[in-house]
Amino acid sequence: MAVEGAGRFAGRVAVVTGASSGLGQAVARSLSGGGARVFGVGRDEERLRETLGGPENAWKVADLTDPAACGAVVESCVDRFGGVDILVNAAGAHTMRHTGETSDDEWAHDLAINLNAPFFLSRAALPQLLERQGCIVNVASIAGLEGQAYSAGYCAAKHGLIGLTRAMALEFDGRGIRVNAVCPGGMTTPLLQNFTFPEDPDYALIMKTATARGLMDPAQVATVIAFLCSEDAAAVHGAVYTVDNGKMAH
């Protein structure tokens, strides 16, 4: 329960993946700014330290494609802070490829980071979240709601993540825990800024994912995620929030 006057997340412990950059970084800063103790997870220790530096927070470098590493993240957070109240699965990766040229390893990696990791982290955190009446927010994508060219693995994983969100919400209905998902559109993140296209793409197909309102700042999406993590969203469970600058209205 929040401490009056100390921020709406005071007394709460949050695990945020992908916290070294982009949306995960924005979420980590938002929750920490609201008084939460944030346990950030990413691949870049220097950026994690920059984002979460200070005794009230902690971080861990981890490869979340490894199920054992997901369990170790939750265990490390509990060892450091005594529990977990919030899990935000923000880590992800998107590489465009021609479907017919996608290798077995590339397909497996798409699912491992975008779908398997949220499952393994959620499974590891469930005992804590059920005991402490916590919440999970899964970062899916508008690619989980529509098809996108050259993105078979990413779309399959994000569609699956929405299914995972709804399945867990139903299974744990009435148990105190809340499980929701957010589906962002394009954001000004390193993932997009460093994006590469497959050889000889049809750019008309790629531009079907664009919106006239342009790209969003990750902080705009982080605000919605922070709401879903807060007591203001006590009645929001099993929801899939689209935050996409109007893309899905087309």
Residue 196: the pLDDT is 79
Average pLDDT along the chain: 94
Sign of the torsion angle spanned by Cα atoms 218, 224, 226, 229: negative
Distance of CA 58 to the CA centre of its chain: 18
Q: Is the pLDDT of residue 8 over 90?
A: yes
Q: Is the pLDDT of residue 4 over 50?
A: no
Q: Is the pLDDT of residue 118 over 70?
A: yes
- Which class does domain 13-245 fall in? alpha beta
Span 237-247, mean pLDDT?
94
Q: Is 116 helix (H, G, I), strand (E, B) or coil?
A: helix
Backbone angles phi, psi at 186, to 5 degrees: -70, 135
Residue 193: the pLDDT is 65
The CA distance from 17 to 27, in Å, is 9
Q: Is the pLDDT of residue 5 over 90?
A: no
Model pTM score: 0.94
Q: Is 53 helix (H, G, I), strand (E, B) or coil?
A: coil
Span 114-135, mean pLDDT?
98
- Percent of the chain residues topping a pLDDT of 70: 96
Residue 44: name the closest of 67, 17, 65 by CA. 17
Sign of the torsion angle spanned by Cα atoms 50, 75, 168, 172: negative
Task: Summarize pLDDT for 14-53 with one digit per residue, the tens.
Answer: 999 999 999 999 999 999 999 999 999 999 999 999 999 8
Residue 204 tokens, joined: 């008309």
Look-up: residue for tokens 């935000």? 88
Which of 144-148, 196-200, 217-221, 240-244 bottoms out in mean pLDDT, i.e. has the lowest?
196-200
Answer yes or no: are the C-beta atoms of 115 and 164 closer than 8 Å.
yes
Residue extents of the structural domains in the chain? 13-245
Residue 6: the pLDDT is 66
Active-site positions read: 154
Q: Is the pLDDT of residue 2 over 50?
A: no
Residue 19: the pLDDT is 98
List Cβ neighbours of 170 (8 Å cut-off, separation of 6 or more): 238
The CA distance from 24 to 40, in Å, is 9
Residue 189: the pLDDT is 82
Residue 86: the pLDDT is 98
- Which band of pLDDT confidence, cut at 50, 70 and 90, is reported for residue 201? confident
Q: Is the pLDDT of residue 71 over 50?
A: yes
